[in-house]
Amino acid sequence: MVVRLRSKPTRETAPGAVLPRLLGDTHMKTAAFAALALTFAFTTAHAATPATASPVTPSLQASVIDHVGINVPDIDAATAFFNDLVGAKVISDVRPGAIPAEWKASFNWRESSELQRFTMLQLAGGSKIELFQYQGPQIDHQPPHEDDIGATHIALRTTDIDRSLAVVKARGLKVLNEPITNPDGIRWFYVLTPWGSQLELVSLPAAS
C-alpha cells in the first residue's frame, strides 16, 4: 500500500510543521512517519489528561516526613556537630543492649554487628534527625559513593544561603559547590560533615 503525503499541512499536522514536497527517499519517509507518530502520541497524551485531575485516595494516610536516619561512626561527635551548627536538641537517647539474631537477619545486619546507641535530634522547626552508631569487625565506616544505591543526603533549609556558606567555611567544613540558583529562585550548596556524609543547605526565594 502506498501512502501519499501532501506538501500542504493538513489539520492533523503539528502546528508549524511542513512536510517536504517529495518523499521519495525511504529514509525521509520513515523520519516523516516517525515525527507524525510522535506528535500524535504527545497530542493524545495531553488530550487524555483532564484539566483538573480527580483526587486520589492514598493507601496510607501519611502527610509529612517524621524524621530521617543516618549511621555515624561517633554519635557524640555527630550530636555535637548538629547541635553546634543548627541548634539541634536531643529528645531521646537509647542504648538497646544485645540485639536478637532474628532482628539482625530481618534488618539485613551483619551477624557480628551490634547497635550501640541511637539518638533522636530535633531542629527548631520540628524536623528530626535520628543518629545510629553500630560497632562490629565487619562494618565499613567509610560512607558509600553518592551514586550507590541507598546513598543519600540531608537537606536543611536556611534563610540566608550566603551567610550559611560563610559559616561552614569558617568551621573548616569541605564545601562541594558554590551556591547554585535554580530558575525558580531556590539556592543551594552541598557540604561534607566531619564523618563524610553529604549535607545540603537550601534557601527559598524571597516572597514577592
Nearest of 77, 55, 132 to residue 99 by alpha carbon: 132
Phi-psi map region of 56: left, alpha, beta (phi>0 left; psi -120 to 50 alpha): beta
- CB neighbour list of residue 91: distance below 8 Å, 6 or more residues apart: 120, 121, 122, 128
For the chain, list the strands marked E by DSSP: 67-71, 89-94, 114-122, 128-135, 153-157, 180-181, 187-192, 198-203
- Asked if the structure places residue 185 within a domain, the reply is yes
- Asked if the structure places residue 133 within a domain, the reply is yes
- Asked if the structure places residue 76 within a domain, the reply is yes
Residues 135 and 169 in one domain: no
Decide which of 85, 119, 141 is a domain's last residue. Answer: 141
What is d(CA 57, CA 62) in angstroms, rounded to the nearest whole number? 11
Residues 103 and 127 in one domain: yes
| The model scores a pTM over 0.75 | no
Asked if residue 193 lies in contact with residue 81, where contact means CB atoms within 8 angstroms, the answer is yes
Query: By residue range, what is the domain housing residue 169?
Result: 150-208
What is d(CA 69, CA 129) in angstroms, rounded to the nearest whole number? 6
The predicted structure's pLDDT at residue 144? 87
The β-bridge relationship of strands 153-157 and 198-203 is parallel
The predicted structure's pLDDT at residue 52? 58
- CB neighbour list of residue 135: distance below 8 Å, 6 or more residues apart: 113, 114, 116
Residues 136 and 166 in one domain: no
What is d(CA 191, CA 185) in angstroms, rounded to the nearest whole number? 20
Residues 101 and 119 in one domain: yes
Domain total in the chain: 2
- Asked if the structure places residue 182 within a domain, the reply is yes
- Asked if the structure places residue 52 within a domain, the reply is no
pLDDT (tens place) for every residue of the chain, 208 residues total: 444 444 444 444 444 443 344 334 444 444 444 444 433 343 344 444 445 566 788 899 888 999 999 999 999 999 999 999 999 999 999 999 999 999 999 999 999 999 999 999 999 999 999 999 999 999 988 888 999 998 889 999 999 999 999 999 999 999 999 999 999 999 999 999 999 999 999 999 987 4
**DSSP letter at 75?**
H
- Our measurement of the distance from residue 39's CA atom to the centroid of its chain's CA atoms, rounded to an integer in Å, reads 32
- Asked if the structure places residue 105 within a domain, the reply is yes
Nearest of 75, 115, 119, 117 to residue 99 by alpha carbon: 115
- Asked if the structure places residue 119 within a domain, the reply is yes
Decide which of 96, 111, 141 is a domain's last residue. Answer: 141
pLDDT tens digit string along 127-138? 999 999 999 999
- The CATH number of the domain where 120 resides is what? 3.10.180.10
pLDDT tens digit string along 19-61? 344 334 444 444 444 444 433 343 344 444 445 566 788 899 8
- Asked if the structure places residue 27 within a domain, the reply is no
